[in-house]
Amino acid sequence: MRPQDRAVCSLFLLLLALTKPTKNSDFHLAGDYLLGGLFTLHANVKGIVHLNYLQVPKCKEYEMKVLGYNLMQAMRFAVEEINNHSSLLPGVLLGYEMVDICYISNSIQPVLYFLAREDSFLPIQDDYSNYVPRVVAVIGPDNTESTGMAAHLLSLLLLPQITYSAISDELRDKQRFPSLLRTVLGAEHHIKAMVLLMLQYGWNWVIVLVSGDEYGRENGYLLSEQLAGEGICVAFQETLPMPQPNLALTEFEHERLVAIVDKLQQSSARIVVLLSPDLALHNFFREVLRQNLTGIVWIASESWSIDPVLHNLTELRHTGTFLGITTENVPIPHFSKFRVRRAQAGPPTPNKTSPPATCNQECDTCLDTTKSFSTILTLSGERVVYNVYSAVYAVAHALHSLLGCNETSCSKEVVYPWKLLQELWKVNFSLLGRQIFFNKQGDLAIGLEIVQWRWDTSQSPFQSIAFYHPTQRQLSNISPVSWNNPNNTIPLSMCSRSCQAGQRKKPIGLHPCCFECLDCLPGTFLNQSDEFDCQPCPNFEWSHKSSTFCYKRRTVFLEWDEAPTIVVAVLAALGFLSTLAILVIFWRYFQTPMVRSAGGPMCFLMLTPLLVAYLAVPVYVGRPTVLTCLCRQSLFTLCFTVCISCITVRSFQIVCVFKMALRLPQAYSYWVRYHGPYVFVAFFTALKVVIVVGNVLTTTTIPTILSDPGNPKIMILSCNPNYRQGLLLTTSLDVVLSVVGFSFAYMGKELPTNYNEAKFITLSMTFYFISSISLCTFMSVYQGVLVTILDLLVTVFNLLGISLGYFGPKCYMILFYPERNTPAYFNSMIQGYTMRKD
């Protein structure tokens, strides 16, 4: 035998094996048109591998799946209801043929059976357009893997297939599966609902456990993709071992489960997403219970979110909160009674051949087991059941239009599957308040619900806590969850607590959810646009530590209530009073030789600007304005110039006038006639005015804002900083005058003490000179409020220097040594001097 022949033979044997007769009629209903139904009544992840013979798996020996039987009953119910109410398909009897696919291991054989003709023969034909297989449409199967397998075969003949719970997005590909439709939302929506749930409760640190099969891999991948987009981090992902047949636990599997549960125990994440068929979870949850794991929020995928058998493990309630994603509940009247009804003798069937029967169309324990779960199944509502129900109705509606039915009759013509498929794509009807039509991808847009597992018998075991609508992609109708913890608080699952305002995140490791919180430094702030870096404040603004904004810096200038101001003000007042006193004394003793030798009327020329300058000291205090800046920069220096030029001209007169009178009588007469001293003073004052005015014109006198390098919280409002160049220029004129005055004074140092003010002039001039230079130096290296204070201090000290340094000693003589303030005394002094010279 050639290999191909052997294959054909095997196939034939298979089909024969399937047609072994059996008594149970739950799986079969004769009718004018048959629907195929594929359900998982028994489950085993992988079939037992037969190496020495080929056999259809004996599903009966596997664990029974209550939900699968429930769904099968839904299909029977729908068909019976359609047959009962003649308005949809009047005069037409719908039949069915249902097979247990054993989760996956028996998924090919039933499909071949459905594709074959009544005589179990599947001919090879040029054109199948007129081929009539055993069934007109197939409902199911439930899981992605077997649905894919079936769809590959059914699509070849364009035999319509409607699955009620296979969510894989791969099945949306209508190039590969043109005849596959779904009454369930795709995986993308299921995962989206999960992610929205996490966002709702602020969880961003989750554990993902997936099964090692296609379901786990595919949905695990989808989930991690969507989580990354929402800033939720996966603490770790583990693959659950798939159980052996009969759920026996091997040594390796056990170790693996212990390790995984141990890891859950250690992790700081409290949210566990379980993407796995229910089969793989029994052993896992037993291990969870053995290790007393608590405080977890379990998020269930649709594959086990309403599984009554897992729910019956009531100790699970101590491990935390169970939340699951499932199809919305659409109550189907009378279904819960039907679920546990024994099959009745159907309506009299047209006398054809005796109903064919196959293996895997039997389930001895199904009804009894379902009865024992009846309460919980009733309470959990019609969720996937409605998917099956609507799938059957969709086929019925398609038949209705294909057969051209009116209220009383249908034309019972032959139904070709590909024609039925065309009608199925077009159906649009309302069923129990839901609009049923298939979108471009062949999916039915039905809502999802998030349910919480409850164990209080009074309530629904799967209580709805939120609703997900596929078009809005949002959760709605959110009701409070009863968290299984002492204070019923929302469990926290965050790698790091969110930072306080004004703290930046410093990432730890690779996860964006794990970070340290660091305060922003003063002078920087946190803008929402960047959580990881503090941004520096703009110029002239400042911020406190850990701030989210900057404020304008405090403007600082000299104020009256500050200690330096008070000290200087007191000094200035004292200076003013003493200068006034000096003025009065000089006025009083105007005719005495002491006053005359001090310069006579010129003394008043010196004292008046001094008084004015003292009075003007307040321009240094308060917010600088253009006017006060102008005063600061010109008034004082002008006063000084007047004083210094007076002193200089007096020194000149004392020392040189006699010599000038002797040697240059002409010049002397001019000097006397034109009041030489006053001309001299006026000239230098005018020169100074020119310099000051030029200075003011070239630089602005508008007050400027400067930052203080020593104290960043403040800003200094000061007069133009470029003023120091002007200061140097104006000071240089005074310096020249001082040097000249000093030279004269030095030349006259042998003069009698009454005339000899050299040391006082030297003192004042040196002080003036040094203080001006140091002020300029200080201003060039430092720009603080201290500059203003120093400027003011230097000014006041200079004024005091002239007032007290020059006039003080003379007053002292006038008041305390009146005997020396007589013309006689002066004459004697001069005579003494002349004699010493001779």
Q: Which of residues 80-139 bind ligand NAG (CB under 6 A)?
A: 80-81, 84
Tokens of 245: 């047949």
> Among 290-298, 568-576, 637-645, 649-657, which window interacts with ligand NAG (CB under 6 A)?
290-298
Closer residue to ligand NAG (CB): 261 or 325: 261
Decide: is 292 part of the binding site for ligand NAG (CB under 6 A): yes
| Spatial distance between the Cα atoms of 734 and 755, rounded to a whole number of angstroms | 23
| Spatial distance between the Cα atoms of 302 and 743, rounded to a whole number of angstroms | 107
| Spatial distance between the Cα atoms of 788 and 700, rounded to a whole number of angstroms | 17
Site string (488-507) toward ligand NAG, x via CB under 6 A: -x------------------
| Spatial distance between the Cα atoms of 372 and 825, rounded to a whole number of angstroms | 140
The neighbour count for residue 537, using CB atoms within 10 Å, is: 20
Which residue in the block uniquely carries the two structure tokens 């005091």? 800
Helices first, then strands: H and E counts in the chain: 25, 27
Q: Determine which residue in the list 201, 437, 746, 833 makes contact with ligand NAG, applying CB under 6 A.
A: 437
> Among 213-221, 259-267, 400-408, 468-476, which window interacts with ligand NAG (CB under 6 A)?
400-408
Q: Which of residues 360-399 bind ligand NAG (CB under 6 A)?
A: 372-373
Q: Is 758:749 a contact under the CB 8 Å cutoff?
A: yes
Closer residue to ligand NAG (CB): 409 or 464: 409
What single DSSP character describes residue 435?
E
Cα–Cα distances in angstroms (integers) from residue 489 to residues 198, 201, 269, 420, in the given order? 15, 11, 16, 54
Angle, vertex CA 214, rays to CA 212 and CA 215, nearest 5: 90
| Spatial distance between the Cα atoms of 286 and 292, rounded to a whole number of angstroms | 10
Number of residues located near ligand NAG, criterion CB under 6 A? 25
Closer residue to ligand NAG (CB): 225 or 262: 262
Closer residue to ligand NAG (CB): 291 or 625: 291
Site string (315-354) toward ligand NAG, x via CB under 6 A: -----------------------x------------x---
Helix, coil or strand: residue 834: helix
- Min separation Cβ 260 and ligand NAG, Å: 14
Q: Determine which residue in the list 125, 266, 529, 591 makes contact with ligand NAG, applying CB under 6 A.
A: 529
Beta strands in 18-74 (DSSP E): 28-29, 33-39, 42-43, 63-64
> Among 77-85, 280-288, 682-690, 822-830, which window interacts with ligand NAG (CB under 6 A)?
77-85
Closer residue to ligand NAG (CB): 313 or 763: 313
The residue type of 25 is S
Closer residue to ligand NAG (CB): 203 or 744: 203
Site string (460-489) toward ligand NAG, x via CB under 6 A: --------------------------xx-x
- Min separation Cβ 77 and ligand NAG, Å: 5
Greatest Cα pair distance in the chain: 171
Closer residue to ligand NAG (CB): 183 or 239: 183
Q: Estimate the share of the chain in helix, then strand, then coil, as percent rounded to the nearest 5.
A: 50, 15, 40
The answer to whether the peptide bond before residue 141 is cis (omega within 30 degrees of 0) is yes
Closer residue to ligand NAG (CB): 129 or 428: 428
Indicate the helix (H) or strand (E) that contains 658: helix 626-663
- Min separation Cβ 736 and ligand NAG, Å: 54
Q: Which of residues 6-65 bind ligand NAG (CB under 6 A)?
A: none
> Among 268-276, 284-292, 293-301, 322-330, which window interacts with ligand NAG (CB under 6 A)?
284-292
Rg of the chain over all Cα atoms, to the nearest angstrom: 54
- Min separation Cβ 319 and ligand NAG, Å: 11
> Among 138-146, 406-414, 750-758, 786-794, which window interacts with ligand NAG (CB under 6 A)?
406-414
End-to-end CA distance of the chain: 161
Q: Is 463:452 a contact under the CB 8 Å cutoff?
A: yes
| Residue 538 CB-density burial (10 A; 0-12 exposed, 13-18 middle, 19+ buried) | exposed
- Min separation Cβ 491 and ligand NAG, Å: 10
Closer residue to ligand NAG (CB): 318 or 659: 318
Q: Which of residues 224-243 bind ligand NAG (CB under 6 A)?
A: none
Q: Determine which residue in the list 435, 459, 477, 669 makes contact with ligand NAG, applying CB under 6 A.
A: 435
| Spatial distance between the Cα atoms of 768 and 805, rounded to a whole number of angstroms | 11
- Min separation Cβ 338 and ligand NAG, Å: 6
The neighbour count for residue 64, using CB atoms within 10 Å, is: 21
Decide: is 407 part of the binding site for ligand NAG (CB under 6 A): yes
| Spatial distance between the Cα atoms of 832 and 531, rounded to a whole number of angstroms | 91
Q: Find residue 239's DSSP bridge partners.
A: 210
- Min separation Cβ 169 and ligand NAG, Å: 21
| Spatial distance between the Cα atoms of 43 and 49, rounded to a whole number of angstroms | 15
Decide: is 406 part of the binding site for ligand NAG (CB under 6 A): yes
The neighbour count for residue 595, using CB atoms within 10 Å, is: 21
Decide: is 312 part of the binding site for ligand NAG (CB under 6 A): yes
Q: Which residues bind ligand NAG (CB under 6 A)?
A: 77, 80-81, 84, 290-292, 312, 338, 351, 372-373, 406-409, 411, 428, 435, 437, 486-487, 489, 527, 529
